[in-house]
Structures are given as C-alpha cells and as structure tokens.
Amino acid sequence: MEADPPEAWAPTGWEVARPVGGVPFAGVEMAGFRDRDALGLDARVLPHPVVTVVLELGEDPLNVEEADDKRELRSIGGGLSLGRTRIRGRGIDCVEIRLSPVTAYATLDVSPPDREGGAVIDLAHLWGRQEALLREQLWAAPDWAGRFALLEEFLAERLGAGAAMDPEVMAAWRHIVARQGQVRVGDLAASCGWSRKRLWSRFGAQIGMTPKRAAMLVRFDRAVRGLSTGRDTAEVASACGYADQPHLHRDVRHFAACTPAELSLSTGEHSSKT
C-alpha cells in the first residue's frame, strides 16, 4: 500500500495523506494530518453522522474544550453529535479514522459514547494498553503508508469485537442516510415491523441518538457541505429539503450554535482537519 502523494498539502501548510484505493472495510475512512508549517490548530468541530477517532502522535497532546470542560488528550473518540467542541494543538501529527455508526458499533466500542451528550472520550481509558501500543507503533512507522497499514491491521483484529447491531436498527440508519435525512420516523418503524417506541429505544441505545435527531444530523451535514462551498443559503435550504430558510437557521443554531453565514465562513477556514 502507498499513501497518496501530498497532492494536497493544504493551502494553510497542512500535509494531508489518504490511503491509495481507499480502505478495505465498509463504512471506514482514514486520513493523516501533519502541521507542516507549525501554524498550530484551533478548530471548532462540527457534529457529523460518523464516529471519529483521532490519535495524536506528536510531542504535545490535543487540548479539547467542551463547555466548561478542558482536557489534554492524545487519543480521542467522538460520537455522532460532538456538541460544541473546540480542539487546539501545536505540532500536530495525527491519524484520523471516521466510521459509520454501524461499523463503529461492531469494531471499536466507541459508539455510542455519550447518548447525545456530545462528550469526547479518552481512548486511553477505553482501550488501555492497546491504545498506547497502537500510538507507539504509528509513531515508529516510516511513512503514511505504514501508518495506514497498521490501522487496517488494528481494525481487522477488532472486527466483530463489539456487540451485533440489530438488523432493524442498521436498516433504519442506512435508510436515513440514503434519503439524506428526509424521512418520517413512523415510516421507519413500519418498514421494520416495530412500534415507534421500540425503534426509538433500540435505535437510541445502539446509534446514540433518536431516529429524528439522526435524520436532522444527516440533513445538517449535507447543508454544511453546501454552505462551505459558498452556495446561497436559500439554495442550500431548498436542496437539502428544508421547508424554508428559517428551518435551516434553526438546525444550524441547534448543531453549531451560529448562523449559516458564520458557519460558511468557519468551514471555509477549517476544512475538516479533525
């Protein structure tokens, strides 16, 4: 395996690497980030419909801020709704894994970490010695390709380590994603033969949020991508299935605590380094 050439060293001086040909596991993406020009990181992390794992390999830990909580961590895991999280760091040299909640549930034991609370979890506490060993091996790897190979081995060993997700919950999640968040929860329940109450309970226990909130998050994530390209707010609202601009404003306020215009500016400046 080889890592992509730094086709893209980001304009801000960040070196970015991804596995050539992708990752041989469904619902998994990997990337490597290095602060080539020592600019430092100060980024607000937006909620995404994925479980995110970041392993920092540099000398300094990541500074994670959530509400009134501030911690220094070297490896972090976050559920679908990270809340209003800010991550700072210097000399960043890290690898990131993004997993669908279905894959994370069966692989990494990091979903759902917070039941909608948005808390970032310390993987050193969750994985113990295995976390430290993995970071040591990643740090010693000669290049990005070697790091990605180690991460693939790690994932392969853990496949199936988690509990099996209910097929009905899995199908409901995939339907929400396929419909880009434009679904009716009652229809979801009917399609899997469950009552609305049972779907609400099992989905929340295994995905980490209610089906309604999951649909909102998937739609919001699509809107973020549209806003980050500079598209007009009204156009984004219509394309993403919002009834009108005020409904888009409501979701942006809910998930990002800002306006669509402010979100457009911030996503343009911080193109997902964490």
Domains of the chain: 8-158 (2.60.120.10), 167-269 (1.10.10.60)
Choice among 78-82, 137-141, 238-242 with the minimum mean pLDDT: 78-82
Cβ atoms of 256 and 228 within 8 Å: the answer is no
What is the pTM (predicted TM-score) of this model? 0.85
Predicted pLDDT of residue 267: 62
Helix ranges (H only) for the chain are: 101-107, 123-127, 129-140, 144-158, 167-178, 185-192, 196-207, 211-228, 233-239, 245-256, 260-269
pLDDT at residue 2 tops 70: no
pLDDT at residue 4 tops 50: no
Cβ atoms of 79 and 104 within 8 Å: the answer is no
Q: What is the pLDDT of residues 250-267, one digit of tens each?
A: 999 888 888 888 887 766
pLDDT at residue 270 tops 70: no
CA distance 60 to 67: 22
Number of Cβ within 10 Å of residue 171's Cβ equals: 15
pLDDT at residue 46 tops 60: yes
Predicted pLDDT of residue 14: 87
